[in-house]
Amino acid sequence: MTRRQGSPTGGFSARTRAEALARFQADTFDIAIIGGGITGAGIARDAAQRGLAVALLEKGDFASGTSSKSSRMIHGGLRYLAQRHIHLVRESLVERGLLLRLAPHLVHPMPWLLPVYEGGANSRFVLRLGLTAYDVLAGRRRLRRHRSLSREALEHNEPAVRTNGLQGGFRYFDCLVNDARLTLATVRSAARDHAAVANYVEATEVLSEGGRVTGVRFTDRLSGSTGTLRAHVVVAAAGPWTDRVRALAGVPPMLRPTKGTHVVVEHARLPLSNAVAFAFRDRMMFAVPYRDYTYIGTTDTDFTGDPGQVLAEADDVEYSIEAANSAFTGDLSPDDVLSTWAGVRPLVYEEGSPSEVGRDYDVQVGPEGFITIAGGKLTTYRAMAEDLVNRIIQQEARRLGGAKPPCRTASTPLPGGDLDRFERYREAAATPLEESWDVPRQAAYHLLDTYGTEYLKVLTYARQSPELLQPLAPDVPALAAEAVYAVEEEMALTLEDFMVRRTELMLFEPEHGLEAAGRAATLMGEALGWGRGQRQEQMESYRQAVADMTAFRAAGGQRPAAPPS
Ligand SMILES: Cc1cc2nc3c(=O)[nH]c(=O)nc-3n(C[C@H](O)[C@H](O)[C@H](O)COP(=O)(O)OP(=O)(O)OC[C@H]3O[C@@H](n4cnc5c(N)ncnc54)[C@H](O)[C@@H]3O)c2cc1C
């Protein structure tokens, strides 16, 4: 088995992970964070930037929990305005403006349409007031002011919208994000500031001495080995697993988890140019055009199961299709659904209907040395982290060796985001990629959208082996170099890490990118030293993940077999 040469750029790989595991055992950390979703990643980045000694343990892959299952919006949340959560909307709009600057390759403005119908829940007048407030709350970070649209203008902009009773509507702007890559960029940024971070490491026990938490026991889920990590403060940032982690520390539950699902159809089956928000039964739903697809979401139902086993069931798919058919002129059926994703919102316990449960976060301290943070949104993760790290520094000043510098995360770009005016950068970089590197235009855009300025690092791998400049499979935008880059620079350790979270090939490629997966398994195997059997296991496990994602098609909702090789 040939092992490809290691990282030419420093790397964030299995070797980095092995070093982190050794540090977990050897060092005493200021803060140990349980959970490598966006919340834990944000805290690690902020604390590491301020010079604190940080450890982060993630039991699966980074973002494998809720943080790769969101609706992918960086938004103020018009709905929360109607619920009078003004503080949350204002904070979210400020963070939206900041994230556009910190990760302009991952966060993009998107026009939204809001059609208004006779007899609808909200009149034009109320919606206009709401959107004006939305613009005002965004302050100088506003994207573009909302506009009122006549019925004709709305029909012209979005011919697929149902016209029965249509009065007109509004256009406003919010942002879309690649949620998993935002999380990964945040974790990598923390590691650059010397945080010890590792995926596939589970905290299995919370340790204490004399009533104070002093660290955790952990298990390396790849090797099965166990160890002890000591820390002045342990933070539970475990998303929908929060109550399980709190149980390890002997503290009561605090969550009301709700499940949300999304379905993906071909763009041709629901052709939209704007994202569209619409009311269906008692809640707001949306349809978002994305690449050659449109996705529809989201359901919101109480969830009591295992957050690791959450899937879009047949009922969820039917509900989403029914909702889309109520809002658009086409006639979709569950057979049109190509991919799905489902996640569990780690909401803080409140009574009322699931859609009404607040999206703000909560911090609970106790027992001494143990802090839980839960709730919130992807959009506000940076502000949540700043608040939490401030509190820890204040409360634990003596143990942490005195004062620490203020938060800098609002002004330091995330990896790949150190550029101005993304659109201009994208065009300027795509041309030489096409002309000098022979990279097809679509693949060039994909490289820039995925890696931002770090696309140059991906190319350094292709310089070592020019065949890595080829696509992973015909018509797939991802290049072969990306599979090697994911291993060497993004700590991808399984095929699924690559196909689902480093790229989006599982959700947004015909046949879920199965052919590309085969080539990626070969390249990852060479870099990680997989034998033939391991490569086959990786493929099998990927096929099973695809089968699970489309399980709603199977009669009785049983776990279906993976498609044949
Ligand atoms: C359907 C849906 C749509 C959403 N849409 C949006 C949106 O459009 N915009 C927005 O701003 N927000 C949105 N959200 C909310 C947002 O996605 C979440 O608030 C956010 O992702 C939560 O991140 P987290 O890090 O707290 O949780 P997670 O991402 O779940 O991370 C927690 C991590 O902890 C790990 N973990 C658990 N136990 C252990 C252990 N013992 N040891 C080690 N690791 C452990 C888990 O593996 C997991 O990766 C949405 C949520 C859902 C469900």
* Cα gap 112→120, rounded to integer Å: 18
* Cα gap 320→10, rounded to integer Å: 45
Residue 391's alpha-carbon distances to 115, 256, 340, in angstroms, are: 43, 25, 38
What's the rounded mean pLDDT across residues 394-405?
Answer: 92
With a cut of 90, say whether residue 350 has pLDDT above it. Answer: no
Tens of pLDDT, residues 462-511: 888 889 999 999 999 999 999 999 999 999 999 999 999 999 999 999 99
What's the rounded mean pLDDT across residues 428-447?
Answer: 95
Residue count of the chain? 565
Confidence of residue 7 (pLDDT cuts 50, 70, 90): low
Substitution candidate for ligand 1 out of 24, 62, 71, 262 with most atoms within 8 A of CB: 71
CA of 297, closest atom in ligand 1: 1
Burial class (CB within 10 angstroms; exposed 0-12, middle 13-18, buried 19+) of 335: exposed
What's the rounded mean pLDDT across residues 260-278?
Answer: 98
- Specify the higher pLDDT residue, 545 or 351: 545
Tens of pLDDT, residues 292-306: 999 999 999 999 999
How far away, in angstroms, is 385 Cα from ligand 1 center? Answer: 14
Is 77 touching ligand 1 by the criterion CB < 6 Å?
no
How far away, in angstroms, is 524 Cα from ligand 1 center? Answer: 27
Neighbour-count burial for 480-493, b at 16+ CB within 10 Å, e otherwise: bbbbbbbbbbbbbb
* Cα gap 156→172, rounded to integer Å: 16
Query: At CA 131, angle to CA 130 and CA 132, rounded to 5?
Result: 90
Protein residue whose Cα sits closest to atom 4 of ligand 1: 70
* Cα gap 484→472, rounded to integer Å: 11
Protein residue whose Cα sits closest to atom 37 of ligand 1: 238
**Which amino acid is present at 33?**
I
Q: Are 332 and 290 in contact (CB under 8 A)?
A: no
Max mean pLDDT range (3-7, 117-121, 350-354): 117-121
What are the residues facing 74 on neighbouring strands? 175
Separation of first and last alpha carbons in the chain: 23
**Which amino acid is present at 244?**
R
Protein residue whose Cα sits closest to atom 50 of ligand 1: 70
What is the gyration radius of the CA atoms in the chain, in angstroms? 23
CA of 35, closest atom in ligand 1: 34
Helix (H, G, I), strand (E, B) or coil at 507: coil
| pLDDT score recorded for residue 29 | 98
| pLDDT score recorded for residue 104 | 97
What's the rounded mean pLDDT across residues 138-157?
Answer: 93
| DSSP code at position 328 | B
How far away, in angstroms, is 522 Cα from ligand 1 center? Answer: 31
Is 377 touching ligand 1 by the criterion CB < 6 Å?
yes
With a cut of 80, say whether residue 552 has pLDDT above it. Answer: yes
Tell me the H-state helices in 27-123: 38-49, 78-82, 86-102
Among 261, 255, 315, 263, residue whose Cα is nearest residue 288? 263
| pLDDT score recorded for residue 2 | 39
What residue ranges in 64-141 does DSSP mark as E strands?
Answer: 73-74, 107-117
Q: Are 552 and 340 in contact (CB under 8 A)?
A: yes
Helix (H, G, I), strand (E, B) or coil at 311: coil
Protein residue whose Cα sits closest to atom 26 of ligand 1: 239
With a cut of 70, say whether residue 359 has pLDDT above it. Answer: yes
% pLDDT > 70, the chain: 96
Is 48 touching ligand 1 by the criterion CB < 6 Å?
no
Tens of pLDDT, residues 74-117: 999 888 887 788 999 999 999 999 999 999 999 999 999 999 99
Contacts by 140-145, CB closer than 8 A, 24 or more apart: 140/97, 141/93, 141/94, 141/96, 141/97, 141/98, 142/93, 142/97, 143/96, 143/109, 143/173, 143/174, 143/175, 144/109, 144/173
Tens of pLDDT, residues 26-48: 999 999 999 999 999 999 999 99
Q: Are 179 and 70 in contact (CB under 8 A)?
A: yes
What mean pLDDT is reported for the chain? 94
With a cut of 90, say whether residue 562 has pLDDT above it. Answer: no
What's the rounded mean pLDDT across residues 438-445?
Answer: 94
* Cα gap 479→449, rounded to integer Å: 13
Confidence of residue 417 (pLDDT cuts 50, 70, 90): very high
Residue 292's alpha-carbon distances to 155, 267, 273, 507, in angstroms, are: 22, 5, 11, 11
Confidence of residue 205 (pLDDT cuts 50, 70, 90): very high
Helix (H, G, I), strand (E, B) or coil at 540: helix
* Cα gap 363→232, rounded to integer Å: 17
Tens of pLDDT, residues 45-66: 999 999 999 999 999 999 999 9
With a cut of 70, say whether residue 25 has pLDDT above it. Answer: yes
| pLDDT score recorded for residue 165 | 95
* Cα gap 202→36, rounded to integer Å: 11
* Cα gap 425→414, rounded to integer Å: 16
How far away, in angstroms, is 271 Cα from ligand 1 center? Answer: 30
How far away, in angstroms, is 63 Cα from ligand 1 center? Answer: 7
Confidence of residue 556 (pLDDT cuts 50, 70, 90): very low
Protein residue whose Cα sits closest to atom 15 of ligand 1: 377
How far away, in angstroms, is 369 Cα from ligand 1 center? Answer: 23
Confidence of residue 382 (pLDDT cuts 50, 70, 90): very high
SS3 content of the chain, % helix, strand, coil (to 5): 45, 20, 35
How far away, in angstroms, is 261 Cα from ligand 1 center? Answer: 14
